[in-house]
Structure 1
């Protein structure tokens, strides 16, 4: 797949997550329980993901590969995801979707640049460069301007 198509998919994924956050924040606000909105989101997601595996997977699960996965990798992503998403659902009705999404993206951006530089989470290293620092600074200024009253 070419880089332009992959970038378009990444942009669409961001839009989908923002829309999902808006709807689920409404659910959490109406229920007065953001954690219940997270439970509904993840239950629905688990059902749909399972259906996608059944429909789109060409081969079964390789149990030998599954046994080689460290135990914590089966759960830690869900822990961080449900915690972060619950914060979104709690904060969107209080600070607005624009501020929440932009501040969330800022957190993701800052962490990803540092984690990439040091190769954290067993991922490939991606050194911080001057150009990258200028891009991060430009995005932080942009986030500040977006949220300026």
Structure 2
């Protein structure tokens, strides 16, 4: 039970990270530079945590002799982060959320069923399939898609992709979600090999920050931090995205070997949706206040039911 609560708390921090990184992007101009700064802050945070908790840098001897996929967690994280940047203007906010989550849940169940990446094996039972369906249905309700359908609102923005191109981007959204679940399993196994989840997260972030540095240099992004409004200081909280991202990667690496990749993904998604609704409800970190609707609350309860079905049955 404590592991589930920890997963929810880790997931709840992700919407805060998104808000912080979005605000940081306004000040630095480039989404890649904002991501690089966020990853750099997270890397420093994990470096300090590793030194304090383990007394030194990770010993990579055993990991060096392991499979090559142990090192791809950070790269997958960058692909997922960059992928969302391209998905949003083409699919809109609703599909940019739902499609990757669908990919995450499906891949998490497959990883558990087949024991890929040396993950704890958990056969795909009817209960797990039902729980995954409830979770996805809950996500649809929590992000307001059901509200939009009932009001007959447009859920794809004007100017979004159409035709075959639209379906290719939808497929890409599912694939990006599958990459995210794969990152969870890979970092979890790396933590097992190293004997430390925080060391695994540090390596993942180090690979990510190196990749993003190359992207920033290749795109020739201008290094700057400017005020969005004259005579108004940038908020202090725009720098906390890296810290929250570090907590997220550590949480995934810690939980995956304990409760399995599939359940880790679902519990953290539950926390993400709950955190998003809280941000909207109270207007946290400069967000516009948007009261939670009844259908969104029911969607969140549906997600809780999905996790409970998988955990208890």
* Bin for the TM-score computed over the shorter chain: 0.7 to 0.9
Residues 102 and 133 of structure 1: CA distance in aligned 2, closer, same or farther (over 3 Å): same
Q: Higher RCO, 1 or 2 (CA under 8 Å, sep at least 6)? A: 2
Q: Could you tell me whether the CA contact under 8 Å between 1:25 and 1:88 is conserved in 2?
A: no
2:6 aligned with 1:15, yes or no?
Answer: no
Following superposition, the deviation at residue 62 of structure 1 comes to: 3.3
Instruction: Give the structure 1 partner of residue 101 of structure 2.
Output: 105
Q: Could you tell me whether the CA contact under 8 Å between 2:21 and 2:38 is conserved in 1?
A: yes
Q: Distance in 2 between matches of 1:28 and 1:87?
A: 16
**Structure that is richer in helix per residue:** 1
Instruction: Give the structure 2 partner of residue 114 of structure 1.
Output: 110
Residues 88 and 79 of structure 1: CA distance in aligned 2, closer, same or farther (over 3 Å): same
1:135 to 121, 126, 131: 131
Following superposition, the deviation at residue 32 of structure 1 comes to: 4.6
Instruction: Give the structure 2 partner of residue 40 of structure 1.
Output: 37
Query: Deviations 1:98-117 (Å, cap 9, x if unpaired)?
Result: 76555443321121012211
Mean CA deviation greater in 39-48 or 119-128: 119-128
Query: Deviations 1:74-120 (Å, cap 9, x if unpaired)?
Result: 3x111100111233456568844x76555443321121012211222
Q: Could you tell me whether the CA contact under 8 Å between 2:102 and 2:136 is conserved in 1?
A: yes
Following superposition, the deviation at residue 60 of structure 1 comes to: 5.5
Following superposition, the deviation at residue 137 of structure 1 comes to: 1.4
Q: Distance in 2 between matches of 1:23 and 1:56?
A: 27
Query: Deviations 1:25-83 (Å, cap 9, x if unpaired)?
Result: 33335545322222111111111111111112146643532442445523x11110011
Q: Distance in 1 between matches of 2:57 and 2:38?
A: 26
Larger radius of gyration: 2
Q: Distance in 1 between matches of 2:21 and 2:86?
A: 10
Instruction: Give the structure 2 partner of residue 145 of structure 1.
Output: 141
Match of 2:9, SS state, is helix
Q: Distance in 1 between matches of 2:24 and 2:92?
A: 16
Instruction: Give the structure 1 partner of residue 53 of structure 2.
Output: 56
